[in-house]
Amino acid sequence: MPPEGAPNVLLILTDDVGFAAPSTFGGVIPTPALDRIAEAGLRFTSFHTTAFCSPTRAALLTGRNHHEVGFGNVAELSTGFPGYNSIITPEVATVAAVQQQNGYGAAWFGKNHNAPPWEASAAGPFNNWPTGLGFDYFYGFVGGDTSQWQPGNLFRNTTPIHPYEGRPGWSLTTAMADDAIGHIRTEIVPTRPWFVHYAPGGTHAPHHPTRDWVDRIEGMKLFDDGWEALRGRIFENQKRLGVIPASLQLTPWPGVLQRWDSLPTEEKRLYIRQANVYAAYLAQTNHEIGRVIAEVERLGQFDNTLMIYISGDNGSSAEGSPSGTPNEVMYFNGVALTAAEQMRWYDASGSDQTYNHMAVGWTWAFSTPFQWTKQVASHSGGTRNGMAMAWLKRITDRGGIRTQFHHVVDIVPTILDVAGIPAPQAVNGVVQRPMAGTSMAYTFPWEDVNAPSTRRTQYFEILGNRALYHDGWIASTTPPAPPWEGMAPRPADAMNGYAWELYNLAEDPT
């Protein structure tokens, strides 16, 4: 049985959303559902991920660092080396497995990027799928991304499903929310709290919003002044909201990226279209999350539900090339199209005729005020993500801001702490390794707004880019090549081939 009064848990994780994209953290893209959680609880402005999809998700669900649970890299790049084999072993059980043994029902909706690639099909085996990792129910896709119009890798539990067949206009973004709402309705058992992990495909490429959302965003004219102007506007918004210090200096625009004023009119038109489609995808994704939250409230469970909304599993993605692309698979194969070549897909952008991604200029703006992007674990543009947390029964500092340094490994200890469930010594007879994270519940009281962070030390490493944080200081490697140059050579000597930078984050957070 669960401890008396244990809350439901709704753990939301969006994909490839930079710190500065949502309105909640100063962005121009409307995210009212994230705003709602922040206003009902707390905004965390120094929360960190690993800088890559699979590693963040493995750390999030286990409370251990990503190398310890087999995900030193994304699943598709796994190898046989320790820490990189894409297998979450029994001695590092997921939070769902722990909660399941303490009376919770557990369900997972959306992206599952933690199944070993050789097991990511209907042939199985399925012991490393959600239903083998402690979840009672799974509705979602397996792999790094999928079409929102015709997802060929969509499953209910372990059975392939194709609900889009014969249904023009069907959207996974909406269908996933529908399925989650239906599931939560069936979980109303007075003695049984529920845990729902909601991880939509948005906003990983392909950016596939419905046409009405594109029209809505285009009418707002958010991006017509270009990426540098957008960055300045976001920076001022962030100061006004208090999510960055008013004294902060904005990092310089990188010399390797184009200046907006240098672009021909037709290129600007293409890039504005890319940004509008991306923003529509984020806005729609957030809207569907809002529907799930509204259902929790309609059922009278809002007050005793711990809602954790992590805005992005890493920083904004630069995997679209400096000019964007109608098909992100081109990036992974070292193929880039000029803006002129891409104009033939202008009207189709975001439709089922494209697998689209935006230009890096927008990516950098959505990382404001930080440097770098997704894949770069050494700098905050890759690792710092906005997070909001609400639990009306206990968090009373409504709309508060917390600046303590924390990491994705701290989420599981927080969930277990507030539920009154101790970290288990064994799960299913297998002795467990200690968790790397610490509970964040000490930040909940309003009088502890400035309490010292309990996360004193944290390492970061993805693809050789790495950093070590300790008590306000961070030592960071200089990225040897931008992530949008996927085929650029990297240092052969991972230990000695990198230069290092040292920052005092208390004085220079950017």
- The helix (run of H) or strand (run of E) holding residue 60 is helix 53-62
- Largest interatomic CA distance in the chain: 65
The stretches of 132-200 forming alpha helices (DSSP H) are: 172-186
The model's confidence at residue 191, banded by pLDDT at 50, 70 and 90, is: confident
Is pLDDT of 187 > 90?
no
Is pLDDT of 234 > 90?
yes
pLDDT at res. 332:
87
Q: Read out DSSP for 362-409?
A: HHHHTTTTSS--TT-TTSHHHHB-EEEEE-TTT---TTEEE---EEGG
Token reading at 208: 């596939």
Angle ∠(113,434,116) on CA atoms, nearest 5:
20
pLDDT in tens, 129-181: 999 999 999 999 999 999 999 999 999 999 999 999 999 999 999 999 999 99
The model's confidence at residue 482, banded by pLDDT at 50, 70 and 90, is: very high
pLDDT in tens, 293-307: 999 999 999 999 999
Query: Among 241-245, 301-305, 332-336, which stretch is predicted with the lowest mean pLDDT?
Result: 332-336
The model's confidence at residue 3, banded by pLDDT at 50, 70 and 90, is: confident
pLDDT at res. 20:
98
* Number of Cβ within a 10 Å radius of residue 407: 26
Nearest CA to 14 among 238, 219, 255, 290? Answer: 290
Contacts for 236-242: CB closer than 8 Å, 24+ residues apart: 237/26, 237/27, 237/28, 238/20, 238/25, 238/26, 238/368, 238/369, 240/26, 241/25, 241/26, 242/401
Query: Among 14-18, 188-192, 439-443, which stretch is predicted with the lowest mean pLDDT?
Result: 188-192
How is residue 301 annotated by DSSP?
-
The model's confidence at residue 448, banded by pLDDT at 50, 70 and 90, is: confident
pLDDT at res. 42:
98
Cα–Cα distance measured from residue 317 to residue 180, given in angstroms and rounded to the nearest whole number: 27
Q: What CATH class has 8-320+328-451? A: alpha beta
Is pLDDT of 329 > 80?
yes
Is pLDDT of 231 > 80?
yes
Q: Mean pLDDT throughout 399-425? A: 97
Is pLDDT of 355 > 90?
yes
Nearest CA to 201 among 143, 115, 277, 118? Answer: 143
* Residue whose structure tokens are 């070292």: 334
Phi and psi torsions of 228, nearest 5°: -70, -40
Is pLDDT of 334 > 90?
no
Q: 173-197 as b/e, with b when 16 or more CB fall inside 10 Å? A: bbbbbebbbebbeebeeeeebbbbb
pLDDT at res. 200:
98
Q: Mean pLDDT throughout 209-225? A: 98
pLDDT in tens, 79-110: 999 999 999 999 999 999 999 999 999 999 99
Q: Are 46 and 406 in contact (CB under 8 A)?
A: yes
Which class for 116: exposed (0-12), middle (13-18), buried (19 or more C-beta within 10 A)? middle
Q: Mean pLDDT throughout 310-334? A: 94
Q: Are 14 and 312 in contact (CB under 8 A)?
A: yes
